[in-house]
Structure 1
Amino acid sequence: MNSFVETISPAAKNHVQARIDYFSDLTLATLQSVRKLSEVNLQFSRDWLQDSTEALRSALLTPQAERTADDASSATQQTAHKLQAWQQQLNRVATDYQASINQVVQQHAPQAARTASELAEAVTQKATAHAEQQLRAGKAAGKEILDQAHHFAAVAAQNGSMQQPASMQSADGEGNKN
């Protein structure tokens, strides 16, 4: 018994291989972008934790009289800058991801289109050949039936076993008289 791989056409194999390559590269690009996104988020989380810890330490350990409005303003400004930098990094990761996806598509689109066309052509040729084969088989079967019918009629005529078809009118020309 043949395996599935042995039964598919070369055009189908080429198309499947092109699709596998495309999805593999697409998956790699996605995984790289997820890794970069994780790194950006991890670094931001570390910085946020460190800043929060420092702010809590300062709030708990600095006496009320020594705290100034400038300290709070400075901490708020630092946090806003870090949030802005984090957002820019996220935008960069998203932009890089879009660029890598576009590159993968541009790299694989011509081959995928070519193999899809080859596969469609092979399927069309196979379907046309099958239809022609079925037509020839149908014609041969019809010819065989017709030949057998002629042969049967000839044998029957030789043996006199078939009567001549009766006419609508009688042989003496009386026809249908009431």
Structure 2
Amino acid sequence: MFPYSRNVTPAVRNHLDAQTAFLNDLSKSIFNSFQQLQNLNMQLVQTMLEETTLASKQMLTADHHTELIDAAASRARPAADKVRTYQQHLSRLAADTQVELSRVAEEHVQETSQTAKALAEEVARTAEEETERHIQKQEESLHQFSDPFIKGSGKKATSTTVRGSASMQSAPGGNVQGGSGTHIQGANKQPNQ
């Protein structure tokens, strides 16, 4: 029918297809009714023009006033009958349109309500999954915050320990000397000769 994005789930696609089918059938029924109404109106106008033309012709060819009144009166009755017939056709068209709209609605309501229910269930499930993921992320960030030496990959940070006194001091020449007299050579210095 219509190309959908990959992000559109099957439940959304089914619901949109059901809604589109319902609206298409509904609009077809409405437009068909309007077309029938226009045809009915055109028939009425055509009939009334024919009646008016005949009445005008008879009135123009009348020799006496009485013939003129008789011609006008003789055409009034058929015109009233035509208007009454038009009203009957109009009432029948309105009833048929109502029946057709009810049929279309009945035909599509069950499918549309099923797809709407499936869509609501999927939305609820997706919201629940998103909530679970969000809670899990919060728990991970809280765990990392409480133990900063544990990294996300699970490795512990390593540290080197120097034994000796608690205070370390730098001796001249780049050597580090502990408080207890321990002497550590600098990394880029040559050993003493």
TM-score norm. by structure 1 comes to 0.78
Matches within 5 A, 1:103-118: 103-118=103-118
Higher helix share: 1
Instruction: Please tell me whether the aligned partners of residues 55 and 72 of structure 2 are also in contact (alpha carbons under 8 angstroms).
Output: no
**Aligned-partner SS, 1:63:** coil
Query: C-alpha displacement at 1:31, in angstroms?
Result: 1.4
Amino acid at match of 2:86: W
Partner of 1:94 in structure 2?
94
The gaps in structure 2 that reach 5 residues or longer are 151-158, 160-165, 167-193
Partner of 1:60 in structure 2?
60
> Are residues 1:28 and 2:28 paired?
yes
**Aligned-partner SS, 1:37:** helix
Post-superposition CA distance 1:20-68 (Å, at most 9, x none) = 1001101110111111111111111110000011111111122225516
Query: C-alpha displacement at 1:6, in angstroms?
Result: 1.8
Moved more, 3-12 or 98-107: 3-12
Query: C-alpha displacement at 1:81, in angstroms?
Result: 1.0
Instruction: Please tell me whether the aligned partners of residues 59 and 68 of structure 2 are also in contact (alpha carbons under 8 angstroms).
Output: no
Find the aligned partners of 1:108 and 1:28 in 2 and give their Cα distance. 14
Higher strand share: 2
Partner of 2:144 in structure 1?
144
The gaps in structure 1 that reach 5 residues or longer are 161-178
Query: C-alpha displacement at 1:74, in angstroms?
Result: 2.8
Structure showing greater relative contact order (alpha-carbon pairs closer than 8 Å, 6 or more residues apart) = 1
Instruction: Please tell me whether the aligned partners of residues 58 and 68 of structure 2 are also in contact (alpha carbons under 8 angstroms).
Output: no
Partner of 2:80 in structure 1?
80
Find the aligned partners of 1:88 and 1:5 in 2 and give their Cα distance. 51
Tell me which structure has the larger Cα radius of gyration.
2
**Aligned-partner SS, 1:7:** coil
**Aligned-partner SS, 1:148:** coil
Give me the identity figure in percent. Answer: 25
Partner of 1:129 in structure 2?
129
Runs of 4 or more, structure 1, over 2 Å off, are: 68-74
Post-superposition CA distance 1:117-154 (Å, at most 9, x none) = 1001101100110011000110111011111289xxxx
Partner of 2:178 in structure 1?
none
Instruction: Please tell me whether the aligned partners of residues 40 and 86 of structure 2 are also in contact (alpha carbons under 8 angstroms).
Output: yes
Query: C-alpha displacement at 1:102, in angstroms?
Result: 0.6
CA RMSD of aligned residues (A): 2.3
Find the aligned partners of 1:16 and 1:142 in 2 and give their Cα distance. 42
How many residues align structurally? Answer: 152
